[in-house]
Amino acid sequence: MSPAAGARRRPDDRPDDPAWTQLVDEVREAGQYTTRSEAESVIRVVLSALGGHVVGDERVDLARALPEEAARVVASQIPATRPLTAAEFVDSVAARIEGATPATARWDVSSVLSVLPALVGDDLIDRVIAQLPPGYALLFGRAELSGT
């Protein structure tokens, strides 16, 4: 898999952060990835895509709550010019991963996003989901609730 543009790392520039290691391990388990490297790559791709769609206080708070490496990926993204539907978001991730299909990209997205609530808190995830178009809650492993 190729890393997302803007999220590339040199092999000798590996994060040595226990929180990053925990995130990688949780995503590796959730996604059943065979290597840490594969899980790291998927995390960077998904978080770089998400970083362009979360704005304002939620983006700042998300970056603060994530491990430093993940926070840099989220915070370094230029805000998207228009919000993507959940399906378009998955397609954009598929376009960033060599050989990915919409089905494998949905798996990758859900493998990353579903571990975030335990890491950053349900309240923050609720705020992030509230600013995204309908359909994203499912990618975070949650039931889609109708807006009020």
- Summarize pLDDT for 29-55 with one digit per residue, the tens: 999 999 999 999 999 999 999 999 999
What pLDDT, on a 0 to 100 scale, did the predictor assign at position 5?
Answer: 40
Q: Mean pLDDT, the chain, as a whole number?
A: 89
- 72 CB-near residues (< 8 Å, 6+ apart): none
The mean per-residue pLDDT over the stretch 70-99 comes to 95
Give pTM, 2 decimals: 0.86
Please say whether the dihedral angle defined by the alpha carbons of residues 73, 77, 79 and 80, taken in this order, is positive or negative: negative
Q: Would you state the torsion angle of the CA atoms of residues 27, 115, 50, 33, taken in this order, to the nearest 10 degrees?
A: 20
Question: 64 vs 58, 71, 104, CA distance in Å?
Answer: 10, 7, 29
pLDDT band for position 145 (50/70/90)?
low
